[in-house]
Amino acid sequence: TGDNKMRALLKLGAVFLTTGLLVSTHWGHRPLTARADTLVETQGALGSGDAILDDGSLYDQYTFSATSGQYVTISLESEDFDPYLILLDPNGQRISENDDVSRANRNSRVIVTLPSTGLYTAVANSYESGKNGRYAIKIDIASNRRTLSEALASSAVPESTAACSDAIATMTLNVEGDRDVSAWVSALPLERVYSQLPSLRPHGVTVALSGPAAVDMMSSPQLLTQLSADLVADCATVSAVVFNTDTPAAERTFGFLPGNQSGRSQAVQGDAAAELVEGFNCVEPTEESTLLGWGEQVCP
């Protein structure tokens, strides 16, 4: 399936240049603002009559105008099929793609610094051939790194408080600092991974690390524990933070484990909650459909 997908993607640019079949929901340049600007936010569906890649997978296209140096974030979510997201530049060349946000999140997301001014195309695709169903796609533009961090932070925790969003954005910028690493945060659907959750803390956050310094950061459990503890302290509904990199299976989870200390309640908040953050224990991989117990992670 992976080889078929790659062959289909290699032909996508040619398809884009020759067919001219574009589905646009917004036209024209949008003014730069101090916040992220949502260009597209809509529901769609893959089904009969849609365009088809060479691997047999269906796709829709969304175009948007953007300026060189802007940051674009594109999210594709579906419960009906495994989303696959592709970004084409103004020349129809593929510049980014994504299958899964993380092992725990099968939705797709790309974050790119745009190389030129012009009309870009986001391709909403299914990873598997012949799959159809409904999806949601969102395209945001940010003018600078801080604005991007704040936009990602505000959507990482459902109904987040301002203090929580600020803490996530600050953590992202602190992680990068003078290091040669980028950190992108996103929501983590814990109910898809664990059979039970801390009832007062149903949400998780994924921190995707990339760049030469990412591996070194993943090798520092003390640093990752402290970063996770800070988020748990400031985000009253967050119980777990997952760090991952582009390296296959390189993923580490740190979370709120009140059961490890006798007499400590799930209701504790702030610094008291931060003290209960630990690294999750490794377990052997099992069937993909089997949920983990709280405090477990699958390690390579």
Q: By three-state DSSP, how is residue 176 classified?
A: helix
Q: What is the pLDDT of residue 105?
A: 78
The CA distance from 163 to 169, in Å, is 10
The CA distance from 38 to 54, in Å, is 31
Q: Is the alpha carbon torsion for 166, 168, 169, 172 positive or negative?
A: positive
pLDDT in tens, 14-50: 455 444 344 433 333 333 334 678 999 999 999 989 9
pLDDT in tens, 67-93: 999 999 999 999 999 999 999 999 999
Q: By three-state DSSP, how is residue 123 classified?
A: strand
pLDDT in tens, 125-139: 999 998 999 999 999
Q: What is the pLDDT of residue 179?
A: 84
Find the DSSP H helices in the chain.
2-19, 145-156, 162-176, 214-218, 221-234, 270-274
The CA distance from 120 to 24, in Å, is 10
In which order are the strands placed within the sheet that holds 203-210?
Answer: 182-188, 203-210, 238-244, 251-256, 277-279
